[in-house]
Amino acid sequence: MSSEIMSQVAKLEIANQEIEAFERDGVICLRGVFDNAWLVRMRMATDRALLNPGPLSDDIYNGGRFLNDNFMWTRDEDFRAFVFQSPAAEIALQVLRSQKINFLADNLLVKEPYANSPVSWHNDQPYWPMQGSKLCTIWLALDSVTRESGALEYIKGSHKWGQPLLAQSDPTKLVQRKDNELLSWDLEPGDCLIHHMLTLHSSAPNTSSRRRRGLATLWAGDDVTYHFLPDTWFLRSVERLGIPECNSLPNLKTGEPIDCALFPRVGPCHR
């Protein structure tokens, strides 16, 4: 890693107030934590990914294109650099108050102009064969994001309900509680949302003439262990990835840490 990148990451310090808000509300917005160099690099990488979607991608054309792709880091140098060199791992480490951090996956979510593809209410944890409380998703805005271009919306505090919800399930009972308070932010490029992987969230269609490119990365802290559950999205999909990192999966044991080639530890001595 270059000394410039190392000092950028070393300087990052998330205020205790923000970390407490994450713990209380299940989501926070941090402004301007990814600089222009990362934005330029990841926008170019995103445009490459759009030309060559991976084996787990969903590519929907409805009014405009919505590409939802994963595991770009295993096939593209810039997505890989984002995992190991960008401030993302340090953000996750601090927000989760963790001593170590493992990377789970990246997820590219591009809503092109007029993509009539809302994402329905869900939380992220039930897609993964993991247990533990220190799990978060960092959603980085590569473009300006408003309600019209497909902003995310969260149910404040819902990470404490302990309720898994897949996007295909009926959310009515959970999301229509009277006391729900919704949180949403307009974003500028370089801002990011950090949500707990049990926080319920959804996103609006893109009704604007602007692109809405988001790069989400998923992170696990030191209390997270592997739990073999054949019915998770991840375990149903993983064979289609067909990458050498997957060979490390059979070594994972229920109740044990998730360190392996597919869920690498990221930190100063692992970069």
Among 108, 142, 152, 220, contact with ligand AKG (rule: CB under 6 A): 152
What's the burial of 60, exposed, middle or buried (CB within 10 Å: 0-12/13-18/19+)? middle
Beta bridge mates, 58 = 68
- 214 belongs to the binding site for ligand AKG (CB under 6 A): yes
Closer by beta carbon to ligand AKG, 108 or else 249: 108
Least distance between ligand AKG and beta carbon 105 (Å): 11
Nearest to 193, CA basis, from 29, 33, 31 = 29
- 249 belongs to the binding site for ligand AKG (CB under 6 A): no
**CA-based max dimension of the chain:** 51
How many residues bind ligand AKG (CB under 6 A)? The answer is 12
Closer by beta carbon to ligand AKG, 154 or else 263: 154
- 189 belongs to the binding site for ligand AKG (CB under 6 A): no
Q: Which 121-140 positions form the footprint of ligand AKG (CB under 6 A)? A: 124, 137, 139
Q: What is the dihedral of CA 47, 11, 152, 82, to 10 degrees?
A: 30
- 215 belongs to the binding site for ligand AKG (CB under 6 A): no
Beta 27-30 vs 192-196: how paired, if at all?
Answer: antiparallel
206/147 Cα distance (integer angstroms): 8
Closer by beta carbon to ligand AKG, 67 or else 101: 67
Closer by beta carbon to ligand AKG, 128 or else 226: 128
99/135 Cα distance (integer angstroms): 13
- Contact residues for ligand AKG (CB under 6 A)? 107, 109, 119, 124, 137, 139, 150, 152, 201, 203, 214, 216
